[in-house]
Chains A and B, each alone.
Chain A
Amino acid sequence: MSAIQEVVTEAPVVEAVPKRAMTLGYGTSLAMLALLILVPLFVKNFIIFQLTMLLIYGLAVLALNILTGGSGQFSLGQSAFYAVGAYTTAILMEHGGMNYALTLPISGIICFGFGFLFGQPALRLSGVYLALATFALATAMPQLLKLGYFEYYTGGVQGLVVTKPDAPFGLPMSQDMWLYYFTLAVTIAIYIFSVNLLRSRSGRAFMAIRDNEIAASAMGIDVALYKTLAFGVSAGITGVAGGLGAIAVQFVAPDAYTITLAISLFLGMVVGGVGWLPGSIVGSAFIIFVPNIAEGISKGLSGAVFGVLLFLVIFLVPHGARQVAIVAQQLLGKLRKN
């Protein structure tokens, strides 16, 4: 008598987003861009700093969207890549005297390599197992950063202070404002890259793998290559975000990059709409501002209020901001017809 095997026809964990719905239309995109360029001219430095963090976390959520929404791999470990990017930038700037802008591609490439390598053993894992593995990575990172061996470079438990750069060429703007526009430029570049990536052959390979890995493999897609590539790209973008974060916040420390960050990024992805790149910024706004709102409502119960607000969001829009955008689109379509 043979051992009974469980035959599983797996429904994809991550639902497909139709390709044409992956981004905003041209009109909306331009409007967003105009907003992003003009708003900082009218607000105080602290708000500009928050907007910069909005873009930075938006990048990190975008990276997770490529990995999970794009290639269907679940990751609770993005905080580890963010940390590596942040520390790489900090170490290069403070110990190596390198220009901040140059550190970013290096952070990106190192994290790409790191992600690519991590993707290898992750090939055999999926779903809940991959979640555990990435969770392990995220919990290990702060501890690794505190290790005595690296203390000279990492600054140990206290971390490193990072010098914020001035605007170049003597431009008449504050450090915060310059950093915001610099981050905006990087974000736009990465966003355009990501959209094109998902529309390219590689992107189609990712999505084929997400929807049905076995069928994808039968079609001749090199599943191993594309899965690790997805991890690499995602890690690389997260690393760049980490580097920018280090500069914006002006320090790096092990306890700033815990599993809480990884979970927040995950929540940002869900709230924004899994696999919907423009939603990344909505998700980022959620994870930056809603905890503050929750604390404002009740200091003692801030966690509970946050949880309740999160439930409200997922009850109303289980598919995230993408759902809101689709409804808005349909309404606009109806209005145009009338």
Chain B
Amino acid sequence: MELFTNQILAGISTGAIYACMALAVVMIYQAIDHLNFAQGEMAMFSTFISWQLMQWGIPYWGAFVLTLVLSFAGGIAIERLLFKPLAKAPILTNVAGFIALFAIINSCAGLIWDFTIKQYPTPFGSHPFLGSQLISTHQAGMIGVTILLLIGLYFFFQFTRMGLAMRAAASLPESARLVGINTSWMIALGWGMAAAIGSIAGMLIAPVVFLEPNMMGGVLIYGFAAAVLGGLTSPFGAVIGGFLVGIFENLAGTYIPGVGNELKLPIALALIVTVLVVKPAGLFGRPIVKRV
């Protein structure tokens, strides 16, 4: 029993990573109705930028904030330059665009900073949290920041004018235009916010998985899975989904025989897909009624 609880706790702490990534995923899904495959790479690139700023002598929090701003701007720039022209193209073509973006960012990061693993600092320290062997202060910090982000996003969407406009644009674009909202810019903003949230995710994750261009590959998939599990319309669901995915992954690795590290990912995905077969809109998503 103790092993079980330990694995749950361990799952929650790794799950914080996925929860944070899942928030960024849901953010962009709300804006553009798709999953952006390149989001992990964008987060990775942002993290490298923050690392570079620190190499140049800027202290951690200064680099953090600067990176946030740069990522926000970068997200908007990418959308305006690369995806606005594709707005009328078929969805699958847009997906090909995400894949192309992935290749570009990954390759550039590799060239600029090469593929050797780098240490990345954490502002929370890495001692055991409250004496527990399973959760470090950094992981507790991750969970804390993720929850703060979630609350911040909630306030933004529920209580600000911009948040209301974004929700409207995502929900019914034509009606949104009829009240004067520039839906095209709402999409750009969505990208910017998703990039900023992704950068936070990256900067929190890097101390754990170490900084290198391929660090986000697995994380992004788990982030997608978490977002889908939680229900793509629910940021709260995304966070819960993240923790659940972390737990699934750990339990699968511990209790299913023959499952080494390599099979953890497909098994976790299989579990999530099973949940979806039962609850197609995810755990907290709004049930979708399809009409002809």
The short answer to whether A and B are in direct contact, CB under 8 Å, is yes
Q: Beyond A136-B273, A318-B93, is A9–B292 a contact (Cβ under 8 Å)?
A: yes
On chain A, the residues within 8 Å of B263 by CB distance are 140, 143-144
Interface mask (A288-320 → B, CB under 8 Å = 1, otherwise 0): 000000000000111111111011001100111
On chain A, the residues within 8 Å of B108 by CB distance are 301, 304
Q: Beyond A129-B276, A310-B100, is A318–B89 a contact (Cβ under 8 Å)?
A: yes
| Any B CB within 8 A of the CB of A22 | no
| Any B CB within 8 A of the CB of A34 | no
The residue that B269 contacts in the complex, of A128, A132, A149, with Cβ under 8 A, is A132
Alpha-carbon distance between A68 and B266 when the two chains are bound, in angstroms: 23
Alpha-carbon distance between A121 and B269 when the two chains are bound, in angstroms: 14
Interface of A is mostly: helix
The residue that B290 contacts in the complex, of A8, A136, A300, A318, with Cβ under 8 A, is A8
Q: What bracket does the count of chain B residues touching chain A fall in?
A: 35 or more
B30 smallest CB distance to A (angstroms): 13
Alpha-carbon distance between A124 and B108 when the two chains are bound, in angstroms: 39
Q: Do B291 and A9 touch (CB < 8 A)?
A: yes
Q: Do A304 and B103 touch (CB < 8 A)?
A: yes
On chain B, the residues within 8 Å of A1 by CB distance are none
Q: Do A136 and B92 touch (CB < 8 A)?
A: no
On chain A, the residues within 8 Å of B93 by CB distance are 270, 314, 318-320
On chain A, the residues within 8 Å of B47 by CB distance are none
Q: Do A133 and B111 touch (CB < 8 A)?
A: no
Q: Do A147 and B289 touch (CB < 8 A)?
A: no
Interface mask (A1-18 → B, CB under 8 Å = 1, otherwise 0): 001111111100111000
On chain A, the residues within 8 Å of B185 by CB distance are none
Interface mask (B274-288 → A, CB under 8 Å = 1, otherwise 0): 001100100000111
Q: Do A263 and B99 touch (CB < 8 A)?
A: yes
Nearest residue (CB) in A for B85 is A315
The residue that A6 contacts in the complex, of B97, B228, B233, with Cβ under 8 A, is B233
**A9-B291, A139-B269 are known contacts; what are 5 more A-B pairs with Cβ within 8 Å?**
A13-B92, A131-B35, A132-B272, A214-B290, A303-B110
